[in-house]
Amino acid sequence: MFTLKTTDGLARRGKLQLAHGEVETPIFMPVGTVGSVKSLTNPELKNLGAQIILGNTYHLFLRPGMEVIRHFGGLHKFIGWDRPMLSDSGGFQIFSLSKLNQLSEEGAHFCSHLDGSKFLLSPEDAVNIQETLGTDIHMVLDECTPYPASEQEARRSMERSIRWAKRCRDARTRMELFQFGIVQGGVYPHLRQECAHALMEIDFDGYSIGGLSVGEPKAAMREMTEAACQVLPPEKPRYLMGVGTPLDLIESVALGVDMFDCVMPTRNGRNGYAFTSLGPVSIKQKQHQFDDAPLDPNCTCHACTHYSRGYLRHLFKAGELTVMRLLSEHNLTFYLKFMADIRHAIEQGEFDELLQAQRRIWQK
């Protein structure tokens, strides 16, 4: 169940009641692709304030496989996580590995990136796999429309996604798990809204906005998000998939989005890039060599309370794995606190002030 607590403009403050607990929205979900958020343990994630994490259907289906997941009684028990989880359908991974796949009305024919084995992932298979995982929220199988795509190509792709969405809805058997439809339509606002209306007729538990952050301009991403949010039902949660930077998050909350996921905090951390309350920091830069200041004076993570920028730079230049953990932990601390600050601002009617302040930091 989704409860909309209050709004400030179009920004929404809500709560999701799921099979494994409550999730306060707007929320950022750390990505645990293969059942683990890279370099961090579950107790560490809880200490950072992670309420829900994401698992990847495509990768988990290939390894360890559903036989293993069934043996352990579902993904939660397998990885030792007792809070909510969300899984994607595998559609984006099939899109991103396009050289290894072929789509038909039946589903996605693909070759494993691990050993070349051939598989068919149908909409019904996507539902069965995710119900086996037991994730609290799962996605329908969709066709991720590439960018650029003509209006005719985007329509053809969108219409297939709608047909697949209906098959997914018909295939579900575990009614205690949420199932989200995915709004497609390329960079064409009228297609986005047409898709949203079609999915609303099928009546999902929530709605995702997919096929964005795939190379399109930021302005187009905002426009498509706005177009979808204009017609999606206010009583259902809205999830913008695979997004993004701190500015992307708050700008999308301003349009009415409730949920986000992205590999950016951990991936960028492993590559020496930190998100801070003062703006971005590339720790590899020489200017930090003699810097005894913390990475972020307003952060309470282990890296910021124990180490200097100079030391973190030394670890990175030396290729130490420790710094990958420290920066990943820092970035997720920043993202989760950032979302908590957004929730508080909406509650206090101060969201626009926070939005303007963040624009000044991230639009430099």
Annotated catalytic residues are: 88, 261
The SS3 of residue 104 is strand
Gap between the Cα atoms of 134 and 100, Å rounded:
28
Contact assessment for residue 358 and residue 246, using Cβ atoms and an 8 Å cutoff: yes
The Cα–Cα gap between 238 and 257 comes to: 5
Annotate 230-291 with DSSP letters as a single string: HHS-TTS-EEETTB--HHHHHHHHTTT--EEE-SHHHHHHHTTEEEETTEEEETTSGGGTT-
User: Whole-angstrom Cα distance, residue 265 to residue 252?
Assistant: 17
Rounded Cα distance, 24 and 340, in Å? 9
Residue 176 CB coordination number (10 Å): 8
Long-range contacts of 169-173 (CB under 8 A, 24+ apart): 169/140, 169/202, 169/203, 169/204, 171/123, 171/124, 171/127, 171/128, 172/127, 172/131, 173/131
In angstroms, rounded to a whole number, what is the distance separating the alpha carbons of residues 326 and 269? 8
Q: How many CA atoms lie within 13 A of 299 on its CB side?
A: 31
Under a CB-based contact definition with an 8 Å cutoff, are residues 13 and 356 in contact? no
* Beta strand pairing call for 101-104 and 53-56: unpaired
